[in-house]
Amino acid sequence: MKAVALVLALAVITVSNARVVPQADATADRWVETVDRFWQYVSELNQKADGVVQTIKTSQLNRELDTLITDTMAELNTYKEDIQTKLTPFATDSTGQLTADLQLLGNRLQKDMLDAKERSTVYLGELKAMMDQNSGDVRGRINAYTNKLRKRLSKDTDDIRNTVATYLSELQSRTSQNMDTVRQQVQPYIQQAGDSASKKIIDLSTVLKTQAEGLGQQLETQAEGLKTQLEATAEELRTSLEGKIDELTELFAPLATQIREKFDTIVETVKEAATA
């Protein structure tokens, strides 16, 4: 039993180490979509005609940008929590480092988005204040900043993605190496346990065979004794019955003689009567 338990325990260890490291879900990239919406909103400001820009209120712009920033941070937090939950069974010292790195990268992304919000507000104010002939200069600066913002946001998102991908790749490699190491360490014990179990099975088979042979001989001896006993009992019964028959014969012999004599007398009387 101990050998079987050891084999099962070692098998569980091997299976546990063979688990596949989870990959980041594609649906977790929703935070990237909100970053794209944020940049698209800022970029569209540069495409609006001067007359439309004049009707945009700074408070409205701030609310919409704040909403996009809040949505992005919420989605990013959900993404980080999902990664941390999936990596809980594989927790290592570097897991905490991944969490810290994602926090720093998330803060940087938020800072860049807040900076874009402030600049967009400033540029919108300048466009409203400028005459038509000077608005081209402001739009030129908006164009340059929008292109720069696109690169910054792309770098922020790529850094977050690459950090997670690098960590998962390292964890996958480490898990594979650990699994091979455990397999090498466990294999001798599995072999030893298997040999021990096989030996115990052979020993048990030998014991059962010996016991079966002994039981067979014992049954044969008992059967022979029972046969002899039955034969002796039958002989005693036959002898006893023969003795009883002789006794009955001796007992009924005088009665039979008397009956025969009376019968002869009756026959003679009948004959004499017939003659007369």
The more confidently predicted of residues 193 and 120 is 120
Q: Domain 2-194 maps to which CATH number in 3.40.190.10, 3.40.50.300, 2.40.40.20, 1.20.120.20? A: 1.20.120.20
Mean pLDDT of 100-114: 93
Q: Token pair of 235, please?
A: 């002989």
Q: Kindly tell me if the per-residue pLDDT of 18 is higher than 50.
A: no
Given the structure tokens 């180490």, which residue do they identify?
17
* Alpha carbons 63 and 158: distance in angstroms, whole number: 27
Mean pLDDT of 127-156: 81
Residue 53: per-residue pLDDT: 72
Residue 46: per-residue pLDDT: 76
pLDDT tens-digit readout, 197-225:
566 666 666 766 777 677 667 767 776 77
* Alpha carbons 44 and 142: distance in angstroms, whole number: 11
User: Is the Cβ–Cβ distance between 6 and 186 less than 8 Å?
Assistant: no
| pTM higher than 0.75 | no
The mean predicted confidence, pLDDT, of the chain is 74
Of the candidates 151, 156, 126, 131, the residue with the CA atom closest to the CA atom of residue 45? 126
Distance of alpha carbon 104 from its chain centroid, rounded? 36
Q: Kindly tell me if the per-residue pLDDT of 194 is higher than 70.
A: no
Residue 52: per-residue pLDDT: 67
Which range of 80-89, 151-160, 166-175 scores highest in mean pLDDT? It is: 151-160
- Start-to-end CA span in the chain (Å): 113
Q: Kindly tell me if the per-residue pLDDT of 132 is higher than 90.
A: no
Residue 114: per-residue pLDDT: 95
In this structure, of 45-59, 118-132, 185-199, the range with the lowest mean pLDDT score is 185-199
Q: Kindly tell me if the per-residue pLDDT of 69 is higher than 90.
A: yes
The more confidently predicted of residues 43 and 232 is 43
